[in-house]
Amino acid sequence: MFHQLKFAFFGIGLLILLSAGCEKKEKEYQAIMSTEFGDVTILLYNSTPKHRDNFMKLVNEGFYTDLLFHRVIQSFMIQGGDPKSKDATRDMLLGGGGPGYTIDAEIGAPHIRGAVAAARTANPKKESSGCQFYIVTGKRITPQELLQTELAKKIKYNDVQKKLYLEQGGYPSLDMEYTVFGEVVSGMDIVDKISMSPADERDRPLKDVKMTIKMIN
């Protein structure tokens, strides 16, 4: 998989990317998410510092320990991080919990397969949930779909983004709507397994899928 360049922000030119490569490399932050299916390694983006720092803070506090992936949809995404999901009964409605604050939008990176993004409720500023996130599994994308998305959203994908969308898939209809703040660098097979968990009418897995997240650097 491409590393960070994979999710280069809209509007950044090749010259800027090349120039950045000549500068001192920023420290990278990665987290490992453990589940009963296996481990998933996530790279956090320095280009979304508010989301990066908040996620690291919560991880270091043990916030995500034993929380559930409460919503899984094949060929779309898996979502978790609701604090109400810890020890939640089967009849409990999940997805509305949070830490009591939101995060300013840092929108730019696209929803290519493996994107890690912040969930949110409908709000005019597109502010993110303070804790809930989703990982895109996505679907196959055609050139026509990408073109339609560009026209509808008035954006322009660069060549790298187009190539990755066409080769790996994703969910471009979410672009410019939610903040992507990281990417899966290993363990997408684990994400796929979670996404295929049998689920109820609310898309909650019939068998609870718990997570534990720790920073690894």
3-class state of residue 136 by DSSP: strand
- Answer whether residue 18 shows pLDDT above 80: no
Average pLDDT over residues 74-94: 97
Kindly report the average pLDDT of the chain as a whole number. Answer: 92
CATH pick for 28-140+178-215 out of 2.40.100.10, 3.90.1640.30, 2.102.10.10, 1.10.3470.10: 2.40.100.10
- Answer whether residue 9 shows pLDDT above 50: yes
H or E element that contains 20? helix 14-22
Sequence spans of domains, the chain:
28-140+178-215
- Answer whether residue 208 shows pLDDT above 50: yes
What pLDDT band is residue 217 in, cutting at 50, 70 and 90? confident
Identify each DSSP E strand in 119-179 by its residue range.
Answer: 128-129, 133-136
- Answer whether residue 113 shows pLDDT above 50: yes
pLDDT for 11? 47
- Answer whether residue 94 shows pLDDT above 80: yes
Identify each DSSP E strand in the chain by its residue range.
Answer: 29-35, 38-44, 67-73, 77-80, 102-103, 115-118, 128-129, 133-136, 180-186, 210-215
pLDDT for 25? 82
Q: pLDDT digit string (tens) for 172-181?
A: 999 999 999 9
pLDDT for 3? 52
